A and B are shown apart, each in its own frame.
Chain A
Amino acid sequence: MTHLTVPKTYKLYLGGKFPRSESGRTYPVTDVQGRFLANAAQASRKDARDAVSAARKGFTAWSGATAYNRGQVIYRIAEMLEGRSAQFVELITTTTGAAARTATAEVQTAVERLVHYAGWTDKLAAVFGSANPVSAPYFSYSAPEPTGVVAVFAPTGAPLLGLVSVLAPVLAGGNAAVVVAAEPDACTAIALAEVLATSDVSGGVVNVLTGSAAELAPHLARHADVDALDLTGLDDELAAACQADSAETVKRVYRPAGVPDFAAAPGTARLRAFLEIKTVWHPTGAVSLAAGSSY
C-alpha cells in the first residue's frame, strides 16, 4: 500500500508552545519552482505582542542563568541541529534549489556557528568588561549585561545559516529574542523552533513569528518593551522607518553595513550590539591595607 505522506502544519513558536496565529491567517509557502509546500501562519500584531510578553518572561530566566549554563544550552541546540541535519538539508534544497552538497555545507556551518557562540557566553566579561583602576579608594568594575528583549528580522538568502547567525549572538549575550522569519523561509524557521523546543531552551527565550516582516516591523519597532532591534533582514526603506520608530524608547539598533557573509567568521559586532556595560563601584576603605603610598 502506498504511504501518503503526512504534511506538517507550520505554526508559530511563542512562549515554548506552537500556536496558530490568533488571526487565523496563513500564507502559502512554495518551493523553488513555485509549487505549494505548506501554509505558514501569518502572524498578526497581537501575535507580535504575545511574543514580546513571552520574551520578557523568558529574559528573566535566561539572563539569570549562569554564563556556563547558557553556553551548555546553546551547545545543546547545536547537538539537536546536528541530529536533524537531513531534515534541514532537504528543506534548504527544496526551498532554495541549492545542491545537496551546498545545503549540507550550510547546515554544518550553522551547527559550527552555534558551537562558536556557545563558547562565547563566559568570555564576554573578560573580553568586553574591565577592572577599573580608579583614582580613589574604590573597587570598580565594568561588565557586560544583556540588553533585554531583541526583535530580530532574519535575513533571506541562507534560510538556516542566516537565521542561526543572527539568533545565536543575541542568545549568547543573555538576551531573549522575538524572531521574525524571512517570509519565504517560514518552514526552515519553524523547523529550527522545533530544534529549540527540544534543546533545553526555556519557553519564551526564543519566539518565532512567520508572516510579513513589513507588517510586523512597525509594531515591534514601536513596542515599548522591546529593548533592541536587529534589522538585518529588512530592506533599506523599512529599516530606516524602524530606526526612526525606535527613537521613541531609545532602542539599540543593529544594522549591518552590507549583506553579511554568513559563511565567514562572524566577528563580535553582533554580540556587542546587544550588550550593556554596567559599572559598579564599591568602597575599599580610605586606607589601602596592601601597601603604603607617599603619592
Chain B
Amino acid sequence: MIDFSYAAAPESAAIGRVRDRYLPYIDGEFVEGKGADLETVNPGTGELLSVVSTVAEEDLDVAVRAARTAFDGPWSRLTGAQRGAYLFRIARGIAERSRELAVVECLDNGKPIKETRDFDVPTAAQHFFSHAGWADKLEHLGLGPSPRPLGVAGQVIPWNFPLLMAAWKIAPALAAGNTVVIKPAETTPLSILVLAEIIADADLPPGVVNIVPGAGDVGAALVDHPGLDKVAFTGSTAVGRQIQRRLAGTGRKFTLELGGKGANIVFADAAQDQAVEGVVNGIFFNQGQVCCAGSRLLVQEPVAEEFLARLKSRVETLRVGDPMDKNTDVGAINSAAQLDRITALLEAGDAEGAERWTSSCPLPDRGWYLAPTIFEQASPSMRVAREEIFGPVLSVMTFRTPEEALAKANNTPYGLSAGVWTEKGSRAMAMAAGLRAGVVWDNTFNRFDPTAAFGGYRESGFGREGGPAGMRAYLHDDDEPVLARPASTGRDGDR
C-alpha cells in the first residue's frame, strides 16, 4: 500500500499582515464606524483573527451622500478613459499585493490557499483589468451612442468569494460611471478592506467607492436607503426575495444573483475519469459553498455503479484540513453557523432515507470542517435533492434517457448552473440548449471569466455579471419612449 500522506506545506500567515483592527472606508478615509465592533474569526482554527469597526445607519447616510457627491462631482466629469485608468491601476494593485491578499482571504474565509492564490485573487485582478477597458467603450454596448450611468449603487456581497465578489460588483459599476457603497459579508470583511487600501493608493477620488462592514441589518438598511439608484445583491434566494419585496414600487433598479442547485449530468459515453474530476470540482471546490455548485449528480444508469465507485475512491484522496496548507484540497466551512446549517440538512437526508457516504479523511480537531459527503440514491423529492446545502455534499440520482436527464435537471425552482459530460458534441449542445440555467458547462465545471456573463434563470435571480450583459446592468437601459404627461383618454374616470 502506497502511503499518500503529505508533509504539511503551510503558507506563512505573516504574509497577510493581518492587523488587530480594521475600519470602514468612507469618502476616501478609513473612519471609525458607529456600529458595534465585529470579531472576525479564522474558520481554519476557530481563533479570533481581527476586529472590524462596523457602520450604523448614520454612517450609511454619510457613505451614500459621499457616493452621491462623488457621482455628481469628479467622477461623472471624468472621461471614460480616465475612469478606466483608475480601474487599470486597481487591477495592478491587486496583482502586486496578490500573495498578501491570498493569505488574508484564506485566513478570513477558510478556503484553501491554493484556491485563493490561483483563483480568487488573480480572477479579481482580471475582473478589474477587463472592465477597465469597457469604460471608454460604452457606446458599443447596444444602448445608444452615450449610455448614462445609473448613479449610486448599493451592493451587498456574500462570504464565499469575498474579494472576487467585490471585484464583480465594483469593477463594472465604476467602468459604467457609477459610484458605490458596498457591504461585505459579516464573516469575511478583511480582503475588501485591503482592497480599500489599494483603491486609496490608486488615488481614486473620495466617495467613488465606500465600504461599509456590518451584519445583515446593515445590508438591509443599505438596500432600503432612499439615496440609491441601483441595488446589486449576491446571496441567498431567501434574502433576495426580501429585497425584491422591499423594493417593490420604488422604481429602483436591482439585480439579484441568488442560490442554485446545479445539476451535473454524466452520460455513459463521457470520459469517465474527466467526469469524475469535474464532479469533484463541481461540488468540493470552495467546500461546496458556491451558488453554482454542481450539487446534484445525475448519472446515466448503465455507468452509475462504476462511476460512483470511481468517484468515491477519488474523493477519498481529497486532503481536507488546514486551509493555509498548500496541499489542502478542501478547507474549512466558513462559520459555525454555516456548519450547523449543513449538518441540519445532512440529518434531513438521513431521515428521508438517502444513503449517506462520507470520506474517511481525518479532520483537524479545531476549526469548522466537514468531510466530503455523498448522498446516494437521493430521490428528487428529498430536501437534500431540492434545497441548496452550500456545503461539500453531493446528492446522486440516475437517469436513462437525455429527456429524463433534462426533466430532472430542470426540476428545480433554481436555474443558475448545470454541467454536461458526454463525448458526443451534438448531445452536449442539445443538452445545453434544453437546460434552464444561466451557465452551462460542457465537459468542464466552475469556469468563470470577466468576459462571460454569469447569472441565473428563475429563482436564481436576474441580471448578469460579466461581459457586455454585465455592463448593461449598470447603465440606463430604459429606451422605451414615454409621454411627457400621462395620456388622458377621457375614459379612465368612467370605470
Which residues of A approach B to under 8 Å, CB–CB?
32, 34, 96-97, 127-128, 130, 132-136, 138, 140, 142, 147, 156-157, 183-184, 224, 227, 236, 239-241, 243-244, 246-250, 252, 255-261, 264-270, 272, 276-283
Complex Cα distance, B245 from A128, in Å, reads: 28
| Given A156-B489, A269-B480, A250 contacting B244 (CB threshold 8 A) | yes
Contacts of B223 in A (CB 8 A): none
Tell me if B248 and A247 are in contact (CB < 8 A).
yes
Structural contact, A258 and B477, CB atoms closer than 8 A: no
Would you give the shortest CB distance from B172 to chain A, in whole angstroms? 14
Q: Decide if A239 touches B480 in the complex (CB within 8 Å).
A: no
Q: Report yes or no: B244 in contact with A157, Cβ–Cβ below 8 A.
A: no
With A243-B249, A277-B453, A281-B444 known as contacts, the answer to whether A256 contacts B480 (CB < 8 A) is yes
A241: B residues at CB distance < 8 A: 248
The interface bits of chain B over 441-458 (1 if a CB of A lies within 8 angstroms of the residue's CB, else 0) are 111100101011111011
Q: What CA separation (Å) do A255 and B241 show in the bound complex?
A: 18
Check A130 against B469 for contact (C-beta < 8 Å): yes
Tell me the bound Cα distance from A132 to B464 in angstroms.
14
Query: B243-265 toward A: CB 8 Å interface, digit per residue (1/0)?
Result: 11101110100001010000000
A265 partner residues in chain B, CB cutoff 8 A: 481
Contact call A157/B489, Cβ cutoff below 8 A: yes
Q: Would you give the shortest CB distance from A73 to chain B, in whole angstroms?
A: 20
- Docked-complex contact B452 and A250, CB < 8 angstroms: no
Interface string of B468-494 (1 = CB under 8 A from A): 110000000111111101110111101
CB of B332, distance to nearest CB on chain A (Å): 28
Interfacial chain B residues near A282, Cβ < 8 Å: 428, 442-444
Interface residues contributed by chain B, number (CB under 8 Å): 59
- Known pairs A97-B490, A261-B481. 16 more at Cβ < 8 A? A130-B453, A130-B468, A132-B451, A134-B447, A135-B126, A142-B467, A184-B494, A243-B248, A249-B459, A250-B258, A259-B485, A260-B481, A264-B481, A267-B480, A277-B464, A281-B444
* In the bound complex, CA of A283 to CA of B428 (Å): 11
> Among the listed stretches B373-381, B384-392, B432-440, which one makes contact with chain A, having 4 or more residues with CB under 8 Å of it?
B432-440
Contact B480 A266 (CB under 8 A): yes
B216 within 8 Å of A (CB atoms):
no
Q: State the CA gap A45–B480 with chains docked (Å).
A: 31
A133 / chain B contacts, CB cutoff of 8 Å: 451
In the bound complex, residues from chain A placing their C-beta under 8 Å from that of B437 are 278
Given A250-B461, A280-B432; A268-B491 close (CB under 8 Å): no
How distant is the Cα of A79 from the Cα of B17 in the complex, in angstroms? Answer: 71
Q: Judging by beta carbons under 8 Å apart, are B447 and A281 in contact?
A: yes
Which 4 interchain pairs have the tightest Cβ spacing?
A240-B249, A267-B479, A258-B482, A243-B248
**A132-B449 in contact given A256-B480, A280-B442 (Cβ < 8 Å):** yes
Partner of A256, one of B256, B447, B468, B482: B482
* Interface: B353 (CB within 8 A): no
Instruction: Write out the residue numbers on chain B whose beta carbons fall within 8 Å of the beta carbon of A224.
Output: 413
Closest CB in chain B relative to A99 CB, distance in Å:
14
In the complex, chain A residues whose CB is within 8 Å of the CB of B468: 130
**A166→B388 CA distance, assembly (Å):** 36
The reply on B495 being an interface residue by CB < 8 A is yes
Contacts of B469 in A (CB 8 A): 128, 130, 142, 277
Query: When A236-B249, A248-B241, A260-B482 are in contact, do A183 and B258 touch as well, CB less than 8 Å?
Result: no
Q: How far is it, in angstroms, between the C-alpha of A239 and the C-alpha of B247 when the chains are bound?
A: 12
The answer to whether A183 touches B495 (Cβ under 8 A) is: yes
**Are B483 and A279 in contact, CB atoms less than 8 angstroms apart?**
no
Interface set, chain B 310-348, CB cutoff 8 A to A: none
A227-B458, A277-B455 known; A272-B481 Cβ under 8 A: no
Q: Does B240 contact A (CB under 8 A)?
A: yes
Contact partners of A277 in chain B: CB under 8 A: 438, 453, 455, 464, 469
A156–B256 alpha-carbon span in the complex (Å): 32
- In the complex, what distance in Å separates the CA atom of A282 from the CA atom of B428? 9
B residues 175-220 in Cβ contact with A at 8 Å? none
The contact of B458 among A135, A184, A250, A270, by CB within 8 Å, is A250
> By the criterion CB–CB under 8 Å, are B440 and A281 in contact?
yes
- Are A272 and B477 in contact, CB atoms less than 8 angstroms apart? yes
Separation of A284 and B219 alpha carbons in the complex (Å) = 41
B485: chain A residues at CB < 8 Å are 259
Q: Which of A147, A184, A243, A260 is close to B495, meaning CB atoms less than 8 Å apart? A: A184
Does B30 interact with chain A (Cβ within 8 Å)? Answer: no
Tell whether, in the assembled complex, residue B482 and residue A142 are in contact, meaning their CB atoms are under 8 Å apart: no
16 A-B residue pairs with CB within 8 Å: A127-B142, A128-B142, A128-B469, A130-B469, A132-B452, A140-B447, A140-B452, A157-B487, A243-B249, A247-B243, A261-B481, A269-B477, A269-B478, A277-B455, A281-B439, A282-B442
Is the pair A250, B256 in contact by a Cβ cutoff of 8 Å? yes
Query: B481 touching A136 by the CB < 8 A rule?
Result: no
User: Which residues of the partner chain B approach A239 to less than 8 Å between Cβ atoms?
Assistant: 249
Residue of A nearest to B449 (CB): A134
Minimum CB–CB distance for A101 against chain B, Å? 18
Q: How far, in whole Å, are A261 and B487 apart by their CA atoms in the complex?
A: 9
In the assembled complex, the CB of A214 is this many whole angstroms from the nearest CB of chain B, namely 10
Docked complex Cα distance between A258 and B256 (Å): 24
Residues of A within 8 A of B460 (CB): 250
Tell me the complex Cα distance, A16–B381, Å: 34
Contacts of A236 in B (CB 8 A): 249
Judged by a CB distance under 8 angstroms, whether B237 is at the interface is yes
